[in-house]
């Protein structure tokens, strides 16, 4: 993804498994930025029904159980909205610092929405180390979606390589 400069992929982790986002609140797993300097948080979704636009939201916490969770603000969203086989370029959207984002034309389209979170974006003075993607219930019509964490810029290359080799 050429949109994110200086991003070396270290790991891909599941945030939200593929699910019908109308079934209720869609809270992703918590992921730690302790071994990475950044994470691109991806929401990937199928077309749904107009008006059922997903609300992309980020939170931060001090542990992987969501301890002390609070909202995480962001200003830049990169997205592709439309028939994805026909959308070649990413659109960069800027907003006033907010904890969520909604593209009012995204419900009826396929979409990929991404936000880059850097470790220094977290409240590090209060030991916040984890982030979570969530998408509220999109309404009463089916809309399949999933979320991914693209962990980037590993802090400890040797340690991460050793851990990967140990799993093999």
In a domain, 146, yes or no: yes
Token pair in block for residue 156: 């400890």
Report helix, strand or coil for 9: strand
Q: Could you give the number of structural domains in the chain?
A: 1
* Residue 20, C-beta contacts closer than 8 angstroms, at least 6 positions apart: 142, 143, 144
| Residue 4: per-residue pLDDT | 56
Would you say residue 158 has pLDDT above 80? no
Token match 């979409």: residue? Answer: 111
What mean pLDDT, rounded, does the chain reach?
Answer: 86
- How far apart CA 18 and CA 109 sit, in angstroms, is 17
Whether 2 is in a domain gets the answer no
Domain boundaries, position 80 = 9-167
Q: Enter the pTM of the model.
A: 0.85
Cβ within 8 Å of residue 123, ≥6 positions away: 60, 70
Q: What is the mean pLDDT of residues 117-143?
A: 92
- The verdict on residue 4 lying in a domain is no
Residue 137 included in any domain: yes
Among left, alpha and beta (phi > 0; psi -120 to 50; other), residue 6 is left
The model's pLDDT over 37-72, given as tens digits with 9 standing for 90+, comes to 999 999 999 988 888 888 899 999 999 999 999 999
pLDDT of 161 reads: 53
Pick from 167, 133, 168, 158: nearest CA to 10: 158
Does 3 reside within a domain? Answer: no
Inside any domain, residue 123 = yes
pLDDT > 90? residue 147? yes
Size (the chain), residues: 168
Is residue 102 in a domain? yes
Tokens of 31: 């992921």
User: Which of 5-14, 16-25, 39-48 holds the top average pLDDT?
Assistant: 39-48
pLDDT band at 160 (very low <50, low <70, confident <90, very high): low
Please indicate, yes or no, if residue 62 is contained in any of the structural domains.
yes
């Amino acid at each position: 993804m050429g949109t994110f400069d200086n991003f070396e992929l270290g790991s891909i982790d599941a945030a939200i498994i593929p699910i019908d986002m109308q079934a209720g609140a869609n809270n992703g797993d918590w992921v730690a930025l302790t071994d990475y300097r950044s994470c691109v948080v991806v929401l990937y979704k199928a077309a749904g029904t107009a008006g059922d636009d997903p609300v992309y939201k980020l939170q931060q916490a001090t542990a992987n159980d969501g301890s002390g969770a609070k909202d995480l603000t962001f200003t830049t969203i990169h997205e592709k909205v439309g028939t994805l086989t026909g959308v070649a370029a990413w659109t960069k959207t800027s907003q006033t610092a907010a904890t969520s984002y909604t593209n009012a034309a995204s419900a009826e389209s396929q979409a990929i929405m991404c936000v880059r979170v850097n470790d220094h974006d977290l409240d590090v003075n209060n030991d916040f180390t984890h982030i979570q993607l969530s998408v509220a219930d999109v309404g009463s019509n089916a809309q399949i979606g999933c979320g991914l964490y693209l962990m980037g810029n590993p802090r400890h290359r040797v340690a991460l390589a050793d851990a990967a080799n140990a799993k093999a």
